[in-house]
Structure 1
Amino acid sequence: MTRPAPRPLPWLVATFLGLYGLFAGGHLYTGDAATVQATARSVLSGQGFAIDFDRAYGGAYGPDGKFYGQYGLGAVLSGLVPAAAGELLAGLLPGGPESTRLLRQLPAALWNIPFAAAAVGLVFACAGLLGMRPTTALAVACSAGVGTMLWPYAARDFTEPQVACFLLLAYHELLRLERSGREGCAVSAGAALGWALLTKVYVVVLAPLFVFEAWRRGGGRPLRTAVLFSTPLGVAAAAIAWYNLHRFGSPFVTGYASQVQNTHIPFWIGAFGLLLSAGKSVFLYNPPLLAAATGAPAFHRRAAGDSRFIWLLAAVHVAFFSIQQNWDGDWAWGPRYLLPAIPFTMLAAGALLESGARTLLWRLTLAAGLAVQFLGLAVDPNDWVRYLEAHKRELGDYLPGYPTKRYVPLHQHHWNPDLSPLRGHWFLLRSTLYPASAGSFVLHSSAEEWNDEKGHVLLPLVDLGPAGKHAGSLDFWFASLPRLMEPGQAAAPLSAMGIGCLALVCLGLPRLARSWRLLARAEATADAEART
């Protein structure tokens, strides 16, 4: 009797659900998420999309005099679930003000975790549809899950993991369309891309690429397939137009600050920043991409059409965000706007692994990726920016007065290696774990000041002093447990979450390892039979 082949996908997703939950912060990080949650609560209470003005919220006043958030309709609709869950938790477990605030925020703070874990599963599924061996697909998926920015952003409240998940789902359905010829796959692919567009409107620049892929993979009826794909996409576009019209009186006004929206910078500034700068280079924050880039030629020989699609998708991301004033997506870890493209490009690493030529490179870059992502997880990225902001006098005008100056992206922590968040997070982590030996943060090169009046001015070497209040606690939910164990606080939900996540990892990891061993054995047997 033949033993059925192992199916690692469910355990892969379960393991990453648990892993991401274990290392989550358990709190909101940004005004973006606070704005989305305020809008979702307003919708749930029957008051529509308008919210009370708060300086922390991003948005604008509409023609009706009401304040509206600037974030996508998809983010708001998706946010209804954690908003309702947060209100339910706060009602079931009454406590002090801090406890109530934490309980209301907790579901929203964890909301990206299922999307990020699903993205890992989709990388595995897409690699399989591209003809990679199951063990290779597992290796690529795990590399994307722990070696890239997907891990830190699973624990943050930005919407990029959701966009990545839906873009991958659209691509997965297009791969199924090509292999099965089922027209329903074109509709589901268009629906997935449409939801990504509802979540972040920049996805519109990717739409032509996906529509072309639907046409190319449509077999004998390419035009019909492209129309089927585009129909749900058109519905999403109409919904966005209605949403904008309802809030701001025009289908083309999103509410983003006028100093950022439609305000562009020279392409070379953003492109250099996203690709090569000391503070935002996509390769520094995602070392396994070096393995993917090395495997790109072999991947192209194997699947030329998919290779062109993946690298074009990455190039469109870089080109679009390079000219945006807020290309850096700052108060965040690494080049967050590129995150949705990263799992796609990791697929090229599979060709490198299957060639067997440079598996050492993959191991080294994966180890480096683990270290980099741990730095991003253990320290709140906001703490490093606040530390630098507290030393404006020593650094000069490193943070221009947003949004009054055009070249907001020319912050020193993007360009000066001394001020890179990679070094900064290491300093704050040491200051938290070993405060007595961490010492001061000293610049080893001249700081560079930029402002509208003086241009570039070199500053002398300076000692910025110890971390002080900007360190002191790891940015993990379990670091808050001692404080939350006090009377009137909310330790129970976090403890239950931690137990559940640990159970998922303990159940999933051994089964995932067993699947790997069985698959590797089956592949070795097949190779031996092929040679005879």
Structure 2
Amino acid sequence: MDRDWLRTRLGVFLVLLASYAYFWHSRDWNTASRLMLTYSLVDRGSLAIDGLENQTGDRAYFRGRYFSDKLPGYPLLATLPYAVQRVLGARPHPLNGPALAFWPSDYGITLATSGLLTAAAAVVLMGLARDLGASRRAAVLFALAYGLATPAYVYATLAYGHQASAFALLSSFALLARPTTRRDGLRTFLAGLLASYAAVIELQVGPVSAVLGFYLLGQCAARARRWDAIAYFGLGALLPALVMLLYNMLAFGNPLDMGYFHHATAQFAKVHSRENPLGLGGPDWSRLVPLLWGRYRGLLFYAPILALAAPGWIVLFAGRRWGYAVVSLAASAAVLGVNLAYPEWTGGWSTGPRLLVPLLPFAMIPVAAVLTASGRWGRLATAAAIGLGFCGAVLMLLFQGVGARLPQDVADPLVEVVWPLWRGLEALPRWWTGERFTRNLGGLAAGGFLDGLPASWQWVQFLPLVAFQVTGAAWMLSRGEPAPASPAATVSSGC
């Protein structure tokens, strides 16, 4: 076991998790819909959210009772950290009250699910980068760029299902991409379990789960795996599917029924239906450019490091890394295709293209391939990754600082809202729901000190976070590659 590499991976994980812990965003309908089911399950053992329905407009109404309109994957995942909080003394969520912007258990659940799984996904990406031939420094840079310089940073601090499903899909691929071992049955079982559970968290990532299934079929056809691996994968995939069918049966009386069919909010009932749960239509290609480019919802604007993805795919195909190339490209295309066909493609109140977030780890895989270059091209690729990553990290911090969710009717969120709020030179928008800056550990520690500062200087509450991130990144990047063993040491170890 390479303990130095293990410490480096642990360091990346802790830097990212601590960065996510710094923020405590206010609740919104999307997060509350999932959280209310978790609270109802743990506090009362009920699938209905009666008494909590005022906390969200994302709700279903069936036979006189209220339910979450979301799939059960994320709320079920969140029951464990919430149950731990209750054992440690957390109060049950109050019933029949007005909507709350903050509740202490929201913070703990979000960090233990979205935050922890985003940091874990970055560590998985480090392993994939090393498998592709990236140096340790490049792998660290790569993981930090994913965790801090893409919208993954924002959604690691929100109780949406995007980061949980992204981790499950990426981990499933990582399990399948590893060489076969004696424990291949267990590995493929877990890969199937994760691929399927991702779709139980977010139904729209189902096509990516299918991509992973076809990847396994290709491995078996190429004799890289035995054919019985398909049975193990299928058995693992069956379990989450049964969980969802059981939830639907208990909540709505039919295993094929779901909350999307019973929306209590007219705005969403117009999109989702029994015939078309996701409300998908034919692809609208006019959405392609705004989804990929521009300050409104452009992926390359909010995650500039992904500008290296296109040359990275060329490198992967040229190097005949077929599995990495085809799966990463197909998974990215599948998520993009669903978004092109979805009426609410803007993602509502969000930072960047919210519904493209599950493709981020797969679009990062070809970036790792670019960082494997050596010589002059390697230095250019590293410099480009550092520059693009720095720009993305600054942008994500700007959005994080003011609450991370900007309405879909704001054409230029950065220029119209985010930057003016950081400068403190303009009044809060009429639709603003909280303070100028989101609740965070630095601001809470500073207390009344910040109130005495001019609005244009209150951004100093984020300086401790930046100092911590820079110090942590510098320490890990300074470690470099291990020195090669001396001939004498080699002989000694051989004896």
Normalised by the shorter chain, which TM-score bucket? 0.7 to 0.9
Contact 1:30–1:157 (CA under 8 A) maintained in structure 2:
no
Shift of 1:119: 0.9
* Aligned counterparts of 1:297 and 1:484: Cα–Cα separation in 2: 54
Aligned to 1:45: 43
Q: Gaps (5+ residues) in structure 1?
A: 386-410, 414-418, 439-464, 486-497, 526-532
Aligned to 2:456: none
Contact 2:132–2:369 (CA under 8 A) maintained in structure 1:
no
Question: Aligned AA for 2:307?
Answer: L
Counterparts of 1:55-204 in structure 2, within 5 Å, are 56-62=56-62, 64-87=63-86, 88-91=88-91, 102-111=103-112, 112-178=114-180, 182-204=184-206
Structure 2 residue corresponding to 1:258, chosen from 262, 266, 269: 269
Shift of 1:318: 0.5
Over 3 Å counting, the alpha-carbon distance change for 1:475 and 1:331 in structure 2 is same
Tell me the TM-score normalized by structure 2: 0.79
Identity %: 20
Aligned to 1:296: 313
Moved more, 208-217 or 101-110: 101-110
Shift of 1:475: 1.7
Contact 2:132–2:372 (CA under 8 A) maintained in structure 1:
no
* Aligned counterparts of 1:422 and 1:100: Cα–Cα separation in 2: 24
Structure 2 residue corresponding to 1:429, chosen from 411, 415, 421: 421
Aligned to 2:457: none
Structure 1 residue corresponding to 2:339, chosen from 321, 333, 341: 321
Shift of 1:351: 2.4
* Aligned counterparts of 2:412 and 2:429: Cα–Cα separation in 1: 15
Instruction: Please list the CA deviations of residues 125-183 of structure 1 after superposition, one character each: whole Å capped at 9, or x if unmatched.
Output: 12223343333322221221221111111122212111111111111111225477722
1:305 and 2:333 correspond? no
Partner secondary structure for residue 214 of structure 1: helix
Aligned to 1:18: 18
Shift of 1:229: 0.8
Aligned to 1:365: 388
Shift of 1:337: 1.5
Shift of 1:505: 6.5
Structure 2 residue corresponding to 1:353, chosen from 371, 379, 392: 371
Aligned to 1:445: none
Question: Aligned AA for 1:368?
Answer: C
For this pair of structures, how many residues does the alignment match? 441
Instruction: Please list the CA deviations of residues 171-205 of structure 1 after superposition, one character each: whole Å capped at 9, or x if unmatched.
Output: 11112254777222111111121221221122322
Partner secondary structure for residue 183 of structure 1: helix
1:337 and 2:355 correspond? yes
Shift of 1:16: 1.4
1:29 and 2:27 correspond? yes
Shift of 1:279: 0.7
* Aligned counterparts of 1:513 and 1:365: Cα–Cα separation in 2: 17
Over 3 Å counting, the alpha-carbon distance change for 1:505 and 1:48 in structure 2 is same
Moved more, 329-338 or 208-217: 208-217
Tell me the TM-score normalized by structure 1: 0.74
Question: Aligned AA for 2:54?
Answer: D
Q: Gaps (5+ residues) in structure 2?
A: 93-97, 261-267, 450-461, 488-495
Shift of 1:123: 0.5
Partner secondary structure for residue 60 of structure 2: strand
Question: Aligned AA for 1:306?
Answer: Y
Question: Aligned AA for 2:336?
Answer: V
Instruction: Please list the CA deviations of residues 341-396 of structure 1 after superposition, one character each: whole Å capped at 9, or x if unmatched.
Output: 111211212222222523232222112111221122111244x43xxxxxxxxxxx
RMSD of aligned Cα (Å): 3.5
Instruction: Please list the CA deviations of residues 473-510 of structure 1 after superposition, one character each: whole Å capped at 9, or x if unmatched.
Output: 3224132445599xxxxxxxxxxxx9x99999799657
Structure 1 residue corresponding to 2:296, chosen from 279, 285, 294: 279
Contact 2:54–2:99 (CA under 8 A) maintained in structure 1:
no
Contact 1:17–1:501 (CA under 8 A) maintained in structure 2:
no
* Aligned counterparts of 1:201 and 1:238: Cα–Cα separation in 2: 14
* Aligned counterparts of 2:99 and 2:236: Cα–Cα separation in 1: 43
